[in-house]
Structure 1
Amino acid sequence: MKPTTRGTLAAVMTGVAAAVGAAATPAVAAATVPIPVPLNGVEQSLGLKAPEVAGELPLPLPGRPEGPRYAEGRMTPAGAVPQVPLSGGLPGADVRTPLPHVLDGGFEHLGLSAPAAGLRTLTPGADLDSPLGAPDPARLGLPGLKEPQAAVLAPLVRTTPTANLEMGSGA
């Protein structure tokens, strides 16, 4: 293979790898969507230093529900209406506001930072069992009767939110 052919092939492969990498990066990195709150107009119209406000909104991602589980002695599988897992997060906020310093002309600030927290949930589900039992050899293979059973599977929420409140000197 000629060196010019090899160089052209290497350049094409590099371009393809860069295009594929650039296309895959936003999907992987987009766990939260930033939400800026523009307050520049308030600062210019009132002549005061305005607070800086920003937020984060996490994107919910559905998971794979657990399939039915067959149990011995039951006509219907356990988990007739499966629980669907969802993962995402609680929204985050970052607020920083200046406070006028009484003794001199400088400013102090008050800040609150509450990053987006991970959130794992399971939707409610149902578990049902029919009023027919297992086939009974003493009754020529006919199933026996039993009380029907129904249960609601409770939803589940797991998260650990955090926040940081600070006060200090500087703008």
Structure 2
Amino acid sequence: MKPITRGTLAVVVTSVAAAVGAAAPAAASGTVPVTVPLGGVSRSLGAEVPTLGAEVPLLKPGVPDGPRYVTGRLVPDRVLPQLPVRSGLPGLHTRAPLPHLLDDGFDHLDVDSPTGGLRALTPGLSVDAPLTAPDGSNVGVPEAKMPQAAVLAPVLRTVADGNVGTGPGL
């Protein structure tokens, strides 16, 4: 193998290893931190600018309950099962300077909204055929009945939390 090919292969392997190593903590925590780099704006304008950061949650789909077989029905219950999904609400972390109007000092305003747990179920469907189960009293012939259909409503459970505060200094 040529030295150039070895060098290229080493760079590719190192880059992939670094990307996998950086993605592992985010996947383990369930959120991806996002920071807004405003340092250059602060230096170029010569003024204090807010610091912004956020946490974007990762979706984790669960295992749906399969169809349930019920005696007396031709079609299983919950033909289209509900899919459970776990995630979190996005988090926000902000700190902004508040200048004093009469002097050169600064105070600050903090807004902190940490990620909160979020559990959800997607909509589902339950239907029943317009026939009864075969019956021995009617020579094994099913009887007609009214068809049934039901939409299983989606479910969303979460608790949101947040703090807003002010204080002296930056």
What interval of TM-score do these two structures reach, taking the shorter chain for normalisation? 0.7 to 0.9
In structure 2, what is the equivalent of residue 6 of structure 1?
Answer: none
TM-score by length of 1: 0.82
Shift of 1:46: 1.2
Q: Return closer, same or farther for 1:115/1:151 CA change in 2, 3 Å cut-off.
A: same
Structure 1 residue ranges (4+ consecutive) displaced by more than 4 angstroms after TM superposition: none
Same amino acid, percent of matched pairs: 51
Q: Return closer, same or farther for 1:91/1:41 CA change in 2, 3 Å cut-off.
A: same
The question of whether the paired residues in 1 share the 8 Å contact of 2:27 and 2:58 is answered with no
2:166 maps to amino acid: M
Q: Secondary structure at the match of 1:120?
A: strand
> Quick check: 1:113 aligned with 2:112?
yes
Q: Return closer, same or farther for 1:54/1:27 CA change in 2, 3 Å cut-off.
A: closer
In structure 1, what is the equivalent of residue 41 of structure 2?
Answer: 42
Distance 2:157 2:77 in 1: 24
1:27-106 paired onto structure 2 within 5 Å:
29-106=28-105
Distance 1:76 1:143 in 2: 13
Shift of 1:105: 2.7
1:52 maps to amino acid: T
The question of whether the paired residues in 1 share the 8 Å contact of 2:74 and 2:131 is answered with yes
Q: Deviations over 1:1-38 (max 9, x none)?
A: xxxxxxxxxxxxxxxxxxxxx8xx63763310000000
Q: Secondary structure at the match of 2:71?
A: coil
Q: Deviations over 1:79-103 (max 9, x none)?
A: 0000000000111100100111234
Distance 2:84 2:28 in 1: 21
In structure 2, what is the equivalent of residue 131 of structure 1?
Answer: 130
Shift of 1:104: 3.7
> Quick check: 1:156 aligned with 2:155?
yes
Distance 2:26 2:36 in 1: 24
Distance 2:107 2:136 in 1: 84
Shift of 1:49: 0.5
Which range moves more in the overlay, 128-137 or 76-85? 128-137
TM-score by length of 2: 0.82
Which range moves more in the overlay, 138-147 or 53-62? 138-147
Distance 1:133 1:106 in 2: 81
If each structure's strand is expressed as a fraction of its own residues, which one has the higher value? Answer: 1
Distance 2:145 2:126 in 1: 16
> Quick check: 1:143 aligned with 2:148?
no
Distance 2:164 2:38 in 1: 21
Q: Secondary structure at the match of 2:77?
A: coil
Distance 1:27 1:40 in 2: 24
